[in-house]
């Protein structure tokens, strides 16, 4: 199973849009081994299975922000705004796409969502415990708690400077 789709590959495809963890239609189609248009046709034929909390279409601004964030070329590409599927929407896809690969991919995706949820809850529990400890101990440990909080922050991605570099 893990040779079919590594969990890490699935985790990279999960995005946070409208405060929801979602996967885009073209990423799902790639994982399922179908074209994006065929995936969307299957969804459209069964649209009653996909209420707005299972799937939504990105707005033009959200899509432009994604293109800017990931450096996607404005040449070519999709003509329609992509659909975003929540965890429940991805689960519903298994009833629409019925191949053996779809079943295996769905299992891998569900595992990735569960793993992500566990990581987030562990992070929240750790922050809560740190707050409790900080209240119990006096100010001499403030520096230690501040350092631990800095280590808990997500690292910001390193960005290369844009432009030409002149060498003498």
* Pairing label, strands 20-24, 83-86: antiparallel
Largest CA distance in the chain: 65
The SS3 of residue 15 is: strand
> Looking at domain 7-119, which CATH architecture does it have?
Roll (3.10)
- Domain residue ranges in the chain: 7-119
Contacts with 136 (C-beta within 8 Å, 6 or more apart), sequence order: none
17-51 pLDDT, tens digit per residue, is 888 889 899 999 988 888 999 999 999 999 999 99
pTM above 0.85, yes or no: no
C-alpha dihedral (146, 148, 152, 153), degrees to nearest 10? 30
Burial degree of 107 (CB within 10 A; 0-12, 13-18, 19+): middle
Identity of the highest mean pLDDT range in 8-12, 59-63, 142-146, 149-153: 59-63
Q: What is the pLDDT of residues 63-85, one digit of tens each?
A: 888 776 665 555 455 678 999 99
**How is the beta sheet containing 15-17 ordered, strand by strand?**
15-17, 20-24, 83-86, 55-57
């Amino acid at each position: 199973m893990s040779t079919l789709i590594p969990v890490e590959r699935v985790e990279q495809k999960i995005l946070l849009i409208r405060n929801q963890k979602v996967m885009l239609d073209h990423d799902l189609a790639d994982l399922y081994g179908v074209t994006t248009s065929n995936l969307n046709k299957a969804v459209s034929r069964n649209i009653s299975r996909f209420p707005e909390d299972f799937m939504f279409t990105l707005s033009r601004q959200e899509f432009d922000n994604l293109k800017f964030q990931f450096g996607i070329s404005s040449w070519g590409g999709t003509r329609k705004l992509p659909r975003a599927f929540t965890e429940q929407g991805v689960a519903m896809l298994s009833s629409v796409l019925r191949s053996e690969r779809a079943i295996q991919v769905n299992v891998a995706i569900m595992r990735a969502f569960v793993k992500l949820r566990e990581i987030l809850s562990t992070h929240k529990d750790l922050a809560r415990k740190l707050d409790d400890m900080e209240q119990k101990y006096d100010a001499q440990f403030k520096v230690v708690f501040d350092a631990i909080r800095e280590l808990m922050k997500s690292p910001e991605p390193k960005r290369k400077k844009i432009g030409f570099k002149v060498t003498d």
